[in-house]
Structure 1
Amino acid sequence: MSGHGFHVHGPHDHELEHAAHGNDDFASRIAVMTAIMATVGALFGYAGGATQNDAGMFKNDAAIKKTEASNQWNFYQSKSNKQNLAELAMVLPGVDVEKYRAEVNRYKSEKEEIKKKADELEKEAQDYEHKSEESLHQHHRWAQAMTALQIAISLAAITLLTKKKWMQYASYGVAGIGVAVAGLAWFHF
């Protein structure tokens, strides 16, 4: 603590200063590796967030296309109802049968176009659903890679405290696994 020009070091303060100003190659290597892992982890986190956003946008686009397709199917049903009414009108006595026959044919033709449009919209919705699933899978890969790097950083901190060489290799190994999983995310596996 310092106050009025008087400063007292605790035992841990002395060790921290010694580590910071000493020539401990082991600690320096771990510190540099930790900084590299943190930087790479930040990139993985960014990529994971971007793919999660893409998945959400594709899901939203799918919902919009499904709504548009539903509207087309409702329109199709409306034309079917009008066609049915025209077919019923044809059998009533004293009506112009040719007029209603023309309407029935017109409704049939219009329904074909509406059905074609609705089918196209449904296919687009399915395509967006598929893209959303792919992006979400990729997001999970990025998240797994980021988790592995966070574990590696934690192991590096334990390595600094224990000065165990095998912990250093464990940290590097887990970081390597994280990079391998990131490779899977990058190549969409």
Structure 2
Amino acid sequence: MTYDPALEAHEHAEHAEHAAHEHDPFINLVSITVAVLAVLAATVGSLETIEAGGAITSASEAVLAQDKATDAWDEYQADSLKKHIYGIAADAGGAKAAKYADTAKEQTGKQAEVKKQAQEDETERDKLLAASRQHEHRHHWLTAAATLLEIGIAVCTVAIITRKRPFWLGSLGLGLGGLALFAVAFLT
């Protein structure tokens, strides 16, 4: 069975709603806290998933950009060999020496274009790797934020069962901690 934070938060909210029917002001307050924490946990959990997907997608695109750069550098090397072979043939003289010299010059121009493309592909790769690292960084902070929010929900449930204010205050602290980590995810 897979873990579904949204479903678990919903179940906690239902327990809190059931307890709220007792018309105890403390229980009502804790029930509202559960609902707020559940919404926050579901939101942070969704953003966590989006960031994980972004990290994977950017990393995959970086691999493709590196493959393109590698192919371009391979073409650059092949053109370099052709240029040298035609240069040697032109230096050897003969009836086609001028043609070989022209072809060697063409290879030089082609090499410049291929080199430029390879460097552009490497720049794209670097940008994608940086984006992947940023997504992964956010994902880690959001994972911690969602965890604190979910623990806060569980502690609220304990507050409902025991009717102890310190548990409720603890859940508020955990919720604030989760929000702080959420903020860190997008500010750093």
SS of residue paired to 2:92: coil
**1:24 maps to what in 2?**
24
Aligned pair 1:106/2:103, yes or no? no
Q: Which residue of 1 aligns with 2:3?
A: none
Q: Relative to structure 1, is the Cα distance of residues 33 and 87 closer, same or farther in structure 2, using a 3 angstrom cutoff?
A: same
Q: Residue in 1 aligned with 2:143?
A: 143
Partner of 1:83: 83
- 2:8 maps to which residue? none
- The residue that corresponds to 2:41 in the other structure is 41
Which range moves more in the overlay, 85-94 or 165-174?
A: 85-94
CA change 1:186–1:91 in 2 (3 A) is closer
Q: In 2 relative to 1, CA 19–69 (structure 1 residues): closer, same or farther, beyond 3 Å?
A: closer
1:130 alignment counterpart: 130
Q: 1:179 to 1:59 in 2, by over 3 A?
A: same
TM-score of the two chains, using structure 2 as the length reference: 0.84
**How big is the shift at 1:164?**
1.9
Listed as ranges, the gaps of 5+ residues in structure 2 are 1-17
Give the aligned residue type for 1:39.
V
73 and 155 in structure 1: CA distance in 2 versus 1, 3 angstrom threshold: same
Shift of 1:95: 4.8
Contact persistence 1:89–1:95 (CA under 8 A): no
How far the C-alpha of 1:88 sits from its partner, in A, is 2.4
CA gap of 1:125–1:141, structure 2 versus 1, over 3 A, is: same
Over the aligned positions, Cα root-mean-square deviation in angstroms equals 1.9
* Shift in alpha-carbon separation, 1:21–1:135, aligned structure 2, 3 A: closer
Opposite residue 174 of structure 1, the aligned amino acid is L
Deviates more, 1:79-88 or 1:141-150: 79-88
CA contact (8 A) 1:47 1:142 kept: yes
1:162 Cα offset (Å): 2.2
Distance 1:169 1:20, change over 3 A: closer
Q: Percent identity among equivalent residues?
A: 26
Q: Which amino acid aligns with 1:128?
A: L
CA distance in 2, matches of 1:96, 1:21: 98
Q: How many residues are aligned here?
A: 172
Task: Give, in whole Å, the separation in 2 of the partners of 1:148 and 1:47.
Answer: 15
Greater mean deviation of Cα atoms: 21-30 or 168-177: 21-30
Give the aligned residue type for 1:51.
E
Question: What's the offset of the Cα at 1:21?
Answer: 4.1
Amino acid at match of 1:45: G
| Rounded Cα–Cα distance in structure 2 between residues aligned with 1:40 and 1:151 | 12
| TM-score, normalised by the number of residues in structure 1 | 0.83
